[in-house]
Amino acid sequence: MQQKNLTVFNTIGLIGRQGNPLVAESLSRVAALVLGKERSLVVESASVDMLEGVSGYSVSSRLEIGNICDLLIVVGGDGSLLGVARDLSSAGLPVLGINRGGLGFLAAISPEQITAQVSEVLEGAYLAEDHFLLKLKVLRAGQEIASTPAMNDVVLHTGTLSRMLEFALYIDGEFVYEQKSDGLIVATPTGSTAYALSAGGPIMHPKLDAIVVVPMFPHTLTSRPLVICGDAEIKLLVKKVGDIGPQVSCDSQVDIDLQLGDEIYISKYEHRLKLIYPLQHSFYESCRSKLDWASRLGNPAAGG
């Protein structure tokens, strides 16, 4: 639920994506701003080498930041926020994203807005939006071999091009269908604007308590995206693999190799991620600007 808040943050955690000089520049700007506001700053140990001209902060691991800070600022892109969501959603730590990546649906503050909008957030002028995650569990011969959360999506796929696999889909214990396709995407509303969108899935508002199931190039033309209750439990049974090595992936960042007969369970994760946005943030404006909805004949800003 999106809310306007007046809570003032005092201990700020800071994490930056590695290997990008643009991230380093913005990371240093954020650090200087936080310290200039006389707030305590805790920098992730992996990000310290990117800071320049800044002193007066402490250093901790990512997991420790989740326990000692009341706000986390992530400088990178949506991919960086996905990793933070999997690692720290259980800590209940609000997260603010500075976009140094691509589209930036989750990391909403652009580099030129850092001074104004981060300052507003630090003073308590912000919107808070809860995003639920999915939990993946893989069973092999009745034994759990893997378990991990995912913020955007869980994807069953072949791992190679031009190969299909066969699997069965169950929802809340009820058989839905068997399918031969390149795979299946199970996405949250957060992930509906990511991989699921490119596969023909619907755009879902972040407030929705729903999950979308999107087939990837199915063998039958009648297979379409399916929107189900957010509390549903999804089961996928790997039926046929041939000479391919199927995988299940979380947020395109965590890959698990599968075998014939493996059971994949997907359900809502017990923890949520609270994302912080500037007061000016609008989901629909993000869609207009990042998905190019504004490109049209006539006046792109006109309502009619």
Which residues participate in catalysis according to the annotation? 78
C-alpha–C-alpha distance, residues 123 and 115, integer Å: 12
Question: What are the distances in angstroms from CA 55 to CA 36, 45, 48, 189, 262?
Answer: 11, 14, 11, 40, 51
Give the three-state DSSP class for 118: helix
C-alpha–C-alpha distance, residues 211 and 208, integer Å: 9
Alpha helices in the chain (DSSP H): 21-36, 62-68, 78-88, 119-122, 195-198, 283-290
C-alpha–C-alpha distance, residues 181 and 161, integer Å: 12
What are the structure tokens assigned to 41, written together?
A: 């700053």
R_g of the chain, CA atoms, integer Å:
21
C-alpha–C-alpha distance, residues 192 and 212, integer Å: 8
Backbone angles phi and psi of 281, in degrees to 5: -65, 140
Q: From the centroid of its chain, how far is CA 30?
A: 22
Q: From the centroid of its chain, how far is CA 197?
A: 14
All residues at 6 or more sequence positions from 12 whose CB lies less than 8 Å from its CB, including other chains: 34, 39, 40, 41, 42, 69, 70, 71, 72, 73, 122
